Structure 1
Amino acid sequence: MNLLTDYGILAWIIIGALAGALAKFIMPGRDPGGCMVTIALGIGGALLAGFIGNAIGWYDPGEGAGFIAAIVGAIIILFVYRLISRR
């Protein structure tokens, strides 16, 4: 049973919001956006972690990343954003 496939888009939004909020909590700073950007950050983090995990071989084809991996992916996205926005 996979939470994201069972509940669809609603699960992506909730998990994305939680993962994005935790990533922003772990890496505090001045980041733009409110709830929508936080949700997008978490969803993007999950997609990034799933893509990297599939490329490395940690996940089977079609298998998504877990919640912790989504947080790590969101942290990576925040880190890259901050590197780019400094310039």
Structure 2
Amino acid sequence: MLGLIVTIILVGLIAGALARLIVPGSQDLSIAMTIVLGIIGSFVGGFLGYLFFHKDAADGFLQPAGLIGSVIGAIIVLFIWTRVGGRRSVNG
């Protein structure tokens, strides 16, 4: 169980960091938020992979396509976040 949690955190960190490198613009995210971005991206990538290829975790837990899907999902989530959710204005 501990190995699964560590794997999820590491994949989240890698996917989130790669997404931040690929998506243009400034993202003001901490390391913890980068990990969360990667984990959410993994869910999005896994969902999209299941929709397009009809593969799921029963076909194997850690697959290269899963890692690529995690990065693609994190890019999608980060792009949406920077365009929609990241707008904060301070009225002073």
What TM-score do the two structures reach when normalised by structure 2? Answer: 0.74
SS of residue paired to 1:49? helix
Please give the residue correspondences for 1:53-68 in structure 2 after superposition, counting only pairs within 5 Å.
53-60=49-56, 62=58, 66-68=66-68
Percent identity between the two aligned chains: 39
Residues 23-78 of structure 1: CA distance to partner in whole angstroms, max 9, x if unpaired?
A: 10111422232110000011111111111222334413655661111111000001
Give 1 or 2 for the bigger CA radius of gyration: 2
After superposition, residues 1-87 of structure 1 pair within 5 angstroms as: 7-60=3-56, 62=58, 66-84=66-84, 85-86=86-87
Gaps of 5+ in 2: none
Q: What is the count of residue pairs matched by the alignment?
A: 83
- What is the root-mean-square deviation of aligned Cα atoms in Å? 2.5
Structure 1 residue identity aligned to 2:70: A
CA 1:62–1:80: 2 relative to 1, 3 Å: farther
Q: Is the 8 A contact 1:54 1:61 kept in 2?
A: no
- 2:26 is paired with a residue of what secondary structure? coil
Do the aligned partners of residues 61 and 19 (structure 1) sit closer, same or farther apart at CA in structure 2, a change above 3 Å counting?
closer
SS at match of 1:66: helix
Instruction: Check 1:6–1:53 CA distance in 2 against 1; reply closer, same or farther (3 A cut).
Output: farther
Point out where structure 1 has 5 or more consecutive residues left out of the alignment: none
Residues 45 and 72, structure 1, Cα contact 8 Å, conserved in 2? yes
Alignment partners' CA distance in 2, 1:16 and 1:61: 17
